[in-house]
């Protein structure tokens, strides 16, 4: 029997972020995004105190969390050599796969975000993302170019260790291996 758990507030926030451009199916209501909490009004200062210090930019990381390196396809610097070689050669077991080709960008972006979050939450390690080659239009493929950017986005990047173009047996240039970080639950 499969046990189901409720999504955390962070998972619900990330899902809404991923689905923000998606249109609901006919007969279904769109889930409205939660509004950010309204800051309390500050009391009016009656003294001639100096103005408060400026706030740091929203994208600034807290002092204790180092920034993550860029996610470059083919880079395997953050793992041991043996795992890196097996990952590059397509020798790791593929725990899950998603096929995005044929989807619009909005559909693919939402599906990819949900897939990565779900796979990471389930403790999956190596997943295959099939984008398609996109050669029928004469270009390199919209999804093929967009997926690495989406995976490097701040919502997904903390869960991803590395990405690498797939071997021909798994889709070649029209697919990516994605190695997810191990989930560290703090109980």
14-49 tens-digit pLDDT: 777 777 777 777 766 665 555 444 444 444 444 444
User: Rounded mean pLDDT of 158-184?
Assistant: 87
184: tokens are 């560290």
- For the chain, the 3-state helix, strand and coil shares in percent, each to the nearest 5, are 30, 10, 60
109-139 tens-digit pLDDT: 999 999 999 999 999 999 999 988 776 555 6
154-166 tens-digit pLDDT: 888 888 888 888 8
Q: Is 97 helix (H, G, I), strand (E, B) or coil?
A: strand
Phi, psi at 162, each rounded to 5°: -160, 160
Q: CATH number of the domain at 78-182, out of 3.30.1370.110, 3.90.850.10, 3.40.50.300, 3.40.50.10860? A: 3.30.1370.110
149: tokens are 């950017």
**Of the listed ranges 80-89, 99-108, 166-175, the one predicted with least confidence:** 80-89
169, pLDDT greater than 70:
yes
Q: What are the domain boundaries of the chain?
A: 78-182
């Amino acid at each position: 029997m499969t046990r189901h758990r409720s999504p955390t507030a962070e998972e619900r926030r990330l899902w809404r972020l991923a689905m923000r451009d998606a249109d609901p199916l006919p007969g279904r209501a769109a889930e409205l995004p939660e509004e950010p909490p309204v800051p309390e009004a500050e009391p009016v200062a009656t003294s001639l105190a100096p103005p408060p210090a400026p706030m740091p930019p929203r994208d600034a990381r807290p002092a204790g969390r180092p920034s993550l390196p860029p996610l470059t396809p083919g880079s395997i610097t953050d793992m041991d050599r043996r795992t890196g070689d097996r990952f590059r050669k397509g020798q790791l077991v593929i725990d899950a796969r998603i096929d995005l080709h044929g989807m619009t960008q909005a559909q693919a972006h939402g599906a990819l975000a949900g897939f990565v979050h779900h796979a990471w939450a389930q403790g999956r390690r190596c997943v295959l993302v099939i984008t398609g080659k996109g050669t029928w239009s004469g270009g390199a493929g919209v999804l093929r170019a967009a997926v690495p950017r989406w995976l490097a986005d701040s919502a997904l990047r903390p869960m991803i260790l590395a990405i690498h173009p797939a071997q021909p047996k798994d889709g070649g240039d029209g697919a990516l291996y994605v190695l997810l970080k191990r989930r560290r639950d703090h109980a």
